[in-house]
């Protein structure tokens, strides 16, 4: 099998290539990146491409490839500074993705695995009522809208051309080298600062990078994955309070959590214009991974505790501030 992974210098793409190289599934590996790739196996051929747009030339990258795993994207950011975020997300995540997929079809690629986002489903769930892979989608922010539009374009292309499309929607992904909000949590815990999050009884699904990559590699050749959409998680939902306690333990810094009522935290966040942050910390977002379990026979291979320990160890060794 010949496998192409886009975004090979990114958080997910590089690990996909590393695990693929260590498996017996692939005979040839190729990765694309806009910049210098570090710490990839010597067996991986690297091809440099420009921005992920409707004009990007992927002919050399997709040549003689069987499966494309598309991880490259314009990622979600909390404070976007561009004038029209939706237009920019569409330029990269929609037009860029569909352009790549068309060139993949022309090159004879048989399967396209697209790493989407749980934001396609929405921003949150009622406690105990998780999203499923077949829920009606309710994308709310520009990033989620762009990911949904890319999914629709890929599914249409599959119907028109016969290429197999597999869509995977992860929630928050954590692991070695994680950035953004999860890194901020580790910084807070490592500093020992008291956090007013000791009485939060929500439930949120997360996915360890190792578990996400394991599902991706399952989907590159599993017959039942063709033209399916899957949600992915660790299979164990945590409240924000539980997550902080587990992560603090993994860091060797027991979390100092103050039991401030949730209603008071929400009121304060609204007054400060931080409703989005409050939703992520206080609201629930659960996903049901039964479809992946039943259709693919897939089970998350790494436990939450082990994944958090690995994440914390990497942080302490490489990113401690």
Structural contact between residues 14 and 80, judged by C-beta atoms closer than 8 angstroms: no
61 vs 32: CA distance, rounded Å: 7
Whole-number Å distance between alpha carbons of 117 and 139: 10
What 3-state DSSP class applies to 276?
helix
**CA–CA gap between residue 281 and residue 272 (Å, rounded):** 15
Instruction: Please choose, from the candidates 208, 284, 275, the residue with its C-alpha nearest in 3D space to the C-alpha of residue 240.
Output: 284
Give catalytic residue positions. 143
Q: Any residues with CB less than 8 A from the CB of 123 and at least 6 apart, and which?
A: 140, 141, 144, 279, 283, 285
C-alpha dihedral sign at 12, 17, 18, 23 = positive
Whether 148 contacts 137, CB under 8 Å: yes
DSSP secondary-structure letter at 120? G
SS3 assignment, position 183 = helix
Contacts of 63 (CB under 8 A, 6+ apart): 107
Q: Which residues contact 241 (CB under 8 A, 6 or more apart)?
A: 197, 198, 199, 200, 201, 257
Task: Provide the sign of the torsion angle of the four alpha carbons 24, 28, 34, 35, taken in this order.
Answer: positive
């Amino acid at each position: 099998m010949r496998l192409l992974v886009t975004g090979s210098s990114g958080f997910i793409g590089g690990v996909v290539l590393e695990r693929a190289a260590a498996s017996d599934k692939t005979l040839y590996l190729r990765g694309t990146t806009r910049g210098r790739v570090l710490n990839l196996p010597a067996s991986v051929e690297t091809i440099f491409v420009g921005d992920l747009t409707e004009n990007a030339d992927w002919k050399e990258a997709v040549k003689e490839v069987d499966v494309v795993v598309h991880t490259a994207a314009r990622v979600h950011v909390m404070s976007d500074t561009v004038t029209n975020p939706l237009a920019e997300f569409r330029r990269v995540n929609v037009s860029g993705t569909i352009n790549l997929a068309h060139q993949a079809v022309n090159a004879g690629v048989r399967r396209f695995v697209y790493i989407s986002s749980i934001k396609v489903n929405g921003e949150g769930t009622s406690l105990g009522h998780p999203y499923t892979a077949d829920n009606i989608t309710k994308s709310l922010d520009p990033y989620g809208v762009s990911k949904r539009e890319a999914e629709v374009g890929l599914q249409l292309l599959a119907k028109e051309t016969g290429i197999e499309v597999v869509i995977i929607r992860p929630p928050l992904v954590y692991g070695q080298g994680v950035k953004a909000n999860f890194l901020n949590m580790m910084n807070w815990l490592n500093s020992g600062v008291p956090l007013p999050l000791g009485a939060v009884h929500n439930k949120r699904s997360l996915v360890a990078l190792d578990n996400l990559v394991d599902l991706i590699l399952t989907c590159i050749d599993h017959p039942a994955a063709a033209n399916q959409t899957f949600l992915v998680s660790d299979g164990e939902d945590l409240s924000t309070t539980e997550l902080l306690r587990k992560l603090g333990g993994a860091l060797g810094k027991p979390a100092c959590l103050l039991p401030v009522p949730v209603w008071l935290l929400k009121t304060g966040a609204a007054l400060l214009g931080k409703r989005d942050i409050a939703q992520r910390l206080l609201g629930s977002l659960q996903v049901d991974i039964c479809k992946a379990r039943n259709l693919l026979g897939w089970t998350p291979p790494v436990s939450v505790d082990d994944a958090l320990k690995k994440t914390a160890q990497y942080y302490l060794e490489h990113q401690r501030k």
